[in-house]
Amino acid sequence: MITVRHLSKVFDSKGKPFKVLRDVNCEIGKGEVISIIGPSGTGKSTFLRCINRLETPTSGEILIDGEDILDDRADLPKLRRKMGMVFQGFNLFNHLTILENVSVGPVKLLGMSRQESREQAMELLRMVGMAEKADAYPADLSGGQKQRVAIARCLSMKPDIILFDEPTSALDPTMVSEVLAVIRQLAKQGMTMAIVTHEMKFARDVSTRIFFMNEGVIYEEGTPEQIFDHPSKPATQAFINRIRSLDFTVMSRNYDLYGMNGKLEQFCRKYSLSDDKCTRAQLLLEELLSGVLPLEKGTAHIRFDYSEKNYNLYLEIRQENCAVPVMDNATVDDLSMKIVRGYCDCIEEIQEEGSRLVTMRIK
Amino acid sequence: MKFRFSLFAAVISILVSGCGHRQGTGVKEPESIEDISNARIVTILGSLQDLDLENNYPEFTNLKLNSTSELIAAVQSGNADYLLVDSISFAGFDLKSRGLKAYFTLPVGGDIAFGFRYDEKELADSYNAFLQKIRNDGTYAEIVGRWIKGDVASSNMPDIPLSGDGDPIVVGVAVSYPFEFIKNGDWAGFEVELMLRFAEFAGRSVRFENYDFNSITAALMTDKIDVICAQMTVSPERAKQVLFSDSHYYSGTVCIGRDPKRGGVPAISGEDLNSCRLGVLSGSSMDVYANETFSGAEIFRADGMENLVNALETGQVDAILSMDALSAEILAGHSDFIALDERLYRDSLSAVFSPGGAKLWKSFNDMLSSLKESGEYENILDRWRKDGTLAEMPVFGVSEGLSPLRIGIQTGTSAYCFERNGVYCGFSVELAHLFAKTQGRPVVFTDDTFSGLLSKLEEGSIDMICSSGTLTEARSKKLLFSDNMLDVNIIAITKKLQQSSGHTSFFSDIRESFRTNIILEDRWKMILSGLWETLVISLFSILLGTIVGAGLCGMRLSGVRTLDSVARFVIDIVRGIPMLVFLMIMFYVVFASSGMTGRWIAIIAFAINFGAYTSEMFRTGIEGVDKGQTEAGLAMGFTRAGTFINFILPQAVGKILPVYKGEAISLIKNTSIVGYIAIADLTRVSDIIRSRTFDAFFPLIIVSIIYFILAWLLGRLLDRFASKIQL
């Protein structure tokens, strides 16, 4: 139904070209529910907006039922009628009532009679639970209610596919579920949908396929099980496990321990780690830097990774130009090693292109 | 809304009441131009008087205005002291009723002629031949008699049949009474009749176009008109551009200022005396006269002039009767009083004696006749008349011996009988002293009211009354009256209109102004036609201007750099030029030879101006609508235009309307300058009426009320429109 080939989009940001989409390829078939996930700024929304030409791609091909939407001769309004779009900011027509919002399209574009369109609108509003507010204006509604009306407005045009651009991102947490419920229901009815979302649980439940976008490409795609349970690529894994990181680079013995401890504390507080864990991480860092690591050999890259999924805090150290083992080093006294081992478990050490890579999990 | 109207009414009434006339300074009346060197003088811009002042008296304060009516308004309102103007401008005009006075004439003057273009020499020659002809056959004298020498107010244009064939002579007229003005909706006046008769002579028709005097030469130069008919004086400077015909009139200059004696308009007129509350001295001849003549009036009788004055001051009476000599004193002391012009009747003052005093009576009469014969009487009277209460009172020696002569007097505010530093003075007191001297007796004066004196005379406690006793029939039967001691005129004194606090007089004034400015000579028809002109220009400018604004806005939003720059350039240019200058440029330069009527040029100029201002409103209004609205429309499958019309425009209009409304209202008011390009709009019509009635305030206020109503109606209309399309 929708085929995208080699899609790229370059924005001009302050005179500097900025490549949002590099090379996107995909197919979306009828009846599919595609969730597009990925870190912010990786082009998810831009990709969606290219599909209905709200953004003009720089190069590539988008075929809708075989018709190239990028062709200058393409009848854009007609193609767009096949695709509904639900916006993050709702974008209801502020000067029209709820009922008019849902009936204006059919009357003006589909040639539906006023009466007929009103009946259809009421039916759609009942479906999304908004019939009561038919005569209200958008300004009178809450965010969740607005978004449900926006979905009804989409449906009024009887689209073949609906594009959801972060439909719940602008909502209060309390209103997210009412909107998601409506979308779930549409999925059940077999509506073809492409949803850009940050609601992972929802994406997993509702989707037939998941696109994981990273750095302007569809980095990995697959069924919800593949993506959520067995992501095959590191960026996907990090994203799925919701890894948060804190980096330090230590070049010599003249490091600023207090500064690093401060940052570490801030990091722990931000992701609600326990005080004990935070203290252990700080002591571990101090111990490693003061005695264990051979800092005179070369720069050490230290990274704390915290997974919001399984709540583990990892420490990763990459010691450049170092051929000797870091942890099993005879020069290091036993006491220091004992202390280190007291703070963490699962210590692994590997050799990687002249660097030693040590990972450990903080208790 | 009611509140808004009452507020408006309050402002208007403050304006009206603030238009009081300043009292003259009372210094020596000016007799030559040197006497007004320190005064504020007004002249018509570019007139001979203006040039004369600039060239010969550059140190004078010379304020320049555009028309005679403005000059009069300036002097009347006290914004200027004297006006210098062609003397014929005031032919047949009642200066007095306006509280003005012509002081002196100046030899500054010139020949008045029609102005032609140099390339229309034939027309000018033809006019000169025509002028020669009518001078010879007496028609010219007849025209002069009608418009200059005679009673202009009642003169009417004779019927002059014109052939409608051929090109009309387009005549540029600048209103200048009595040469060219509008009477009963048609042009009338000296030069107008000359022009019509000339057209008849030349077998052509005529079309009059009303211009401002300042722009009329430009109109001739740009072929807008064929001839200037604007009481224009021939000058070498003008002759460089204008081919003048032979002179058809010569006019000198007159200097006009406020009349210090007539610094106002009486609250009631002579006719009103029969229906007002009238104060008189009880028992005086005025009492009798008032009873007989003003049977309809409510007569208020008082003893003593000061009581009458007080009654007038406090509003118990509308007018009082007084002797003229007395009135000067009263008026000097009360700046809000004014004497009516007409003399009511002539009376004589006599000394009064009891029937038993026939001997005294006879000797008093003898003394009077001998004084009159010797001329001494005139000397005494002149002294008191000339210097009033400041005149010197001769000192009389005290005669001893015989019983004193008891003379009753009534002191008051007059130079006839008053008290100064404890000494009785005045004309009648002097006579009384002289009489006592002839009798060889000392004098004892008794000061009382006139009725008090009469009863004292009857009971014999005084021998005679030598005061303002006037002869009445009833009295003369009981008492002896001497020969005529003094001739006096009896006049009425009333309050000035403006200072009057009574509502009746305020509203009767309004009514009178309404009659002269609106009803008389069908002037309301002119106001209606002016209103129509203002409406047409305003509405078309708003409609066309909105389209221009939308176009400019479209160019700015097009995203095409050149279109954006062009639109921006146009907007900056138009906004940077004063509207009046822009209008004149459009009229005299851009569309000078287009043959378009002034009305359309005005509409185009105002439309461009309106468009320049509104385009930026439109732009900000449209840009103020959230981008998401456009995206939603597009995503649904609307075209760009469809999205704009269905979703963006309605929302933008709601945002724009309040400012748009303000701009539209200010456009209506701005159209008041179209008079400069010869369009008789509402403001211009009020100018024309003012030039005829010389009433500065009423036409302005009527017109301002009409503008207010127009603006208000337009505001309501747009509000209704807004509520229809808005949420």
pLDDT digit string, tens, across residues B116-160: 999 889 999 999 999 999 999 988 988 888 888 777 777 888 888
Chain A hits for B641, CB-CB cut-off 8 Å, are: none
Q: Which residues on A lie below 8 Å from B635 (Cβ)?
A: 52, 54, 80, 83-85, 87
At position B143, the amino acid (one-letter code) is I
Amino acid identity at B298 = E
Tell me which of A90 and B99 has the higher pLDDT.
A90
Q: Is A51 on the interface with B (CB under 8 A)?
A: no
> Which candidate from B631, B646, B654 shows the least CB-CB separation from A54?
B631
Residues 6 or more apart from A326 whose CB is under 8 A from it?
A: A292, A293, A294, A317, A319, A349, A356, A358
User: Cα(A164)–Cα(A167) distance, rounded to whole angstroms?
Assistant: 6
Report d(CA B274, CA B293) in Å as an integer. 8
- CA distance linking residue B5 with residue B170, whole number of Å: 44
Residues from chain A that touch B642, judged by Cβ atoms under 8 A, are 77, 108
**Are A129 and A149 contacting, i.e. CB atoms less than 8 angstroms apart?**
no
Question: Minimum mean pLDDT among A311-325, B13-27, B194-208, B286-300: which range?
Answer: B13-27
Q: Is B560 exposed, middle or buried (0-12, 13-18, 19+ CB in 10 A)?
A: exposed
Question: Of B121, B75, B414, B94, which Cα lies nearest the Cα of B258?
Answer: B75
Query: Other CB atoms closer than 10 Å to residue A15's CB: what's the count?
Result: 5
SS3 string, B349-365, reads: ECCEECHHHHHHHHHHH
Instruction: Say if B164 is an interface residue toward chain A (CB within 8 Å).
Output: no
- Least confident interval from B58-62, B243-247, B408-412: B408-412
Instruction: Out of B638, B647, B725, name the one closest to residue A77 (CB).
Output: B638
A11 against B339, higher pLDDT? A11
* Cα gap B688→B211, rounded to integer Å: 11
**Which amino acid is it at B541?**
S
Across B417-436, average pLDDT: 82
A95 touches chain B (CB under 8 A): yes
What's the sign of the alpha-carbon dihedral A67, A69, A74, A77?
positive
- Show the CA angle centred on residue B33, arms to residues B32 and B38, nearest 5°: 120
Q: Which of A186, A89, A81 is nearest to A146 (CA)?
A: A89
Cα B552 to Cα B537, B556, B652: the distances in Å are: 21, 6, 16
CA closest to A110 among chain B residues: B637
Percent helix, strand, coil in chain A, to 5, is 40, 30, 35
Best mutation target among B636, B653, B726 (most A Cβ atoms within 10 Å) is B636
> CA A156, CA A123: separation in Å to the nearest integer?
10
Contact call for residues A99 and A48 (beta carbons, < 8 A): no
Dihedrals phi, psi of B408, to nearest 5 degrees: -90, 130
**Contact (Cβ atoms closer than 8 angstroms) between residue A197 and residue A164:** yes
Residue whose tokens read 């995206």? B631
Rounded-to-integer distance, Cα B75 and Cα B102, Å: 12
Interface contact B709, partner A, CB < 8 A: no
What is the predicted ipTM? 0.78
CA distance A357 to chain B (A): 49
CA distance A80 to A87: 15
Question: Are the Cβ atoms of A157 and B636 closer than 8 angstroms?
Answer: yes
Say yes or no: B642 contacts chain A, CB-CB below 8 A: yes
List, in sequence order, every residue forming a beta bridge with A17; answer none if it has no partner. Answer: A12
**pLDDT confidence of residue B450:** 75
| Structure tokens belonging to residue A286 | 């101090």
**B631, A91: Cβ pair inside 8 Å?**
yes
Q: Average pLDDT over chain A, rounded to whole? A: 88
Residue of A nearest to B632 (CA): A91
A305 — phi, psi (to 5°)? -115, 130
Tens of pLDDT, residue by residue over A308-329, are: 888 889 888 888 777 777 666 6
Q: Tell me B516's DSSP state.
A: I
pLDDT of A71: 84
B637 and A85 within 8 Å at the Cβ level: the answer is: no
CB B333 within 8 A of CB B464: no
B651 close to A (CB below 8 A): yes
User: Chain B contacts of A92, Cβ < 8 Å?
Assistant: 632
Distance, CA of B259 to CA of B577 (rounded, Å): 43
Chain B residues with CB-CB distance to A139 below 8 A: 727
Residue A63 tokens, joined: 């075929």
Yes or no: say if B195 and B113 are a contact pair by the CB < 8 Å rule: no
User: Measured between alpha carbons, how far is A243 from A42 in angstroms, rounded to an integer?
Assistant: 17
Task: Tell me how close the Cα of A105 comes to any Cα of chain B, in angstroms.
Answer: 7
Token duo for residue B188: 């009338």
pLDDT at B18 over 60: no
- B341 in reach of chain A (CB within 8 A): no
Query: Could you tell me if A162 and A193 are in contact, meaning their C-beta atoms sit under 8 angstroms apart?
Result: yes
CB of A108 less than 8 A from some CB of B: yes
Examine the pLDDT at B417 and tell me if it is beyond 50. yes
Q: How far is CA A23 from CA A58, A66, B556, B704, in A?
A: 11, 20, 36, 71
pLDDT of residue B8: 53
Contact B637 A78 (CB under 8 A): yes
Tell if the CB–CB gap between B628 and A89 is shorter than 8 Å.
yes
Q: What is the pLDDT of residues A175-200, one digit of tens each?
A: 898 999 999 999 999 999 999 998 88
| Least confident range of A116-120, A247-251, B86-90, B525-529 | B86-90
B653 touches chain A (CB under 8 A): no
Which residues in chain B are closer than 8 Å to A94, comparing Cβ atoms?
626, 629, 651, 727
Whether residue B636 and residue A52 make contact (CB cut-off 8 A), yes or no, is no
Q: Do residues B611 and B667 make contact, with C-beta atoms less than 8 angstroms apart?
A: no
More confident residue, B262 or A84: A84
Distance CA A320, CA A355 (A): 5
Q: What is the pLDDT of residues B452-466, one digit of tens each?
A: 787 788 878 888 888
**Long-range Cβ contacts of A256-263 (<8 Å, 24+ apart):** A257/A285, A257/A286, A257/A289, A260/A285, A261/A285, A261/A286
DSSP B53: H
Q: What is the pLDDT of residue B709?
A: 94
Instruction: Give just the sign of the alpha carbon dihedral A220, A225, A230, A234.
Output: positive
**Alpha-carbon distance B653 to B633, whole Å?**
17
Read off the amino acid at residue B519. Answer: I
Residue pair A59/A41 in contact by the 8 Å Cβ criterion:
no
Q: Which of A85, A90, A95 sits opposite B635 (nearest CB)?
A: A85
CB contact under 8 A, A95 and B647: yes
Please tell me the distance in Å from A116's CA to the nearest CA on chain B: 19
CB contact under 8 A, B654 and A95: yes
Query: Is residue B443 within a helix (H) or strand (E), and if so which, with residue range?
Result: strand B443-447
Contacts across the A-B interface (CB distance below 8 Å): 65
Q: Which alpha helices (DSSP H) does B321-419 contain, by range?
A: 324-333, 358-374, 376-387
- Residues with Cβ within 8 Å of B618's Cβ and at least 6 positions away in sequence, in order, are B549, B550, B553, B652, B656
**Contact by Cβ (8 Å): B470, B310:** no
Section B482-496 average pLDDT: 81
Main-chain dihedrals φ then ψ at residue A267, nearest 5 degrees: -60, -45
Name which of B637, B725, B727 is nearest A81 (Cβ-Cβ).
B637
Residue B654 with chain A: CB contacts under 8 Å: 95
As given in the structure block, the two tokens for residue B110 are: 């010139």
Radius of gyration of chain B measured on its C-alpha atoms: 35
Residue in chain A lying closest to B655 (CA)? A95
How far, in Å, are A30, A59, A65, A171 from residue A36 at the CA level?
Answer: 17, 21, 21, 19
- Are A92 and B638 in contact (CB < 8 Å)? no
* A239 has pLDDT over 70: yes
Query: What six digits make up the tokens of B317?
Result: 């009476």
Q: pLDDT at position A344, please?
A: 86
- Identify which of A90, A104, A153 has the shortest CB distance to residue B646: A104
The residues pairing with A222 across neighbouring beta strands, listed in sequence order, are A210
pTM: 0.59
A264 touches chain B (CB under 8 A): no
Does A84 touch chain B if contact means CB atoms closer than 8 Å? yes
Whether chain A has a CB inside 8 Å of the CB on B624: the answer is no
The pLDDT value recorded for residue B11 is 54
Residue A109 is nearest to which of B631, B632, B637, comparing CB atoms?
B637
In the predicted structure, residue B186 carries a pLDDT above the cut 80? yes
Are A109 and B638 an interchain contact pair (Cβ–Cβ within 8 Å)? yes
pLDDT in tens, B351-381: 888 888 888 888 888 888 888 888 888 888 8
Q: Report CB contact under 8 Å: B632, A92.
A: yes
Nearest CB neighbour to B635, from listed A54, A89, A137: A54
For residue B569, how many other CB atoms are within 10 A of its CB?
Answer: 10
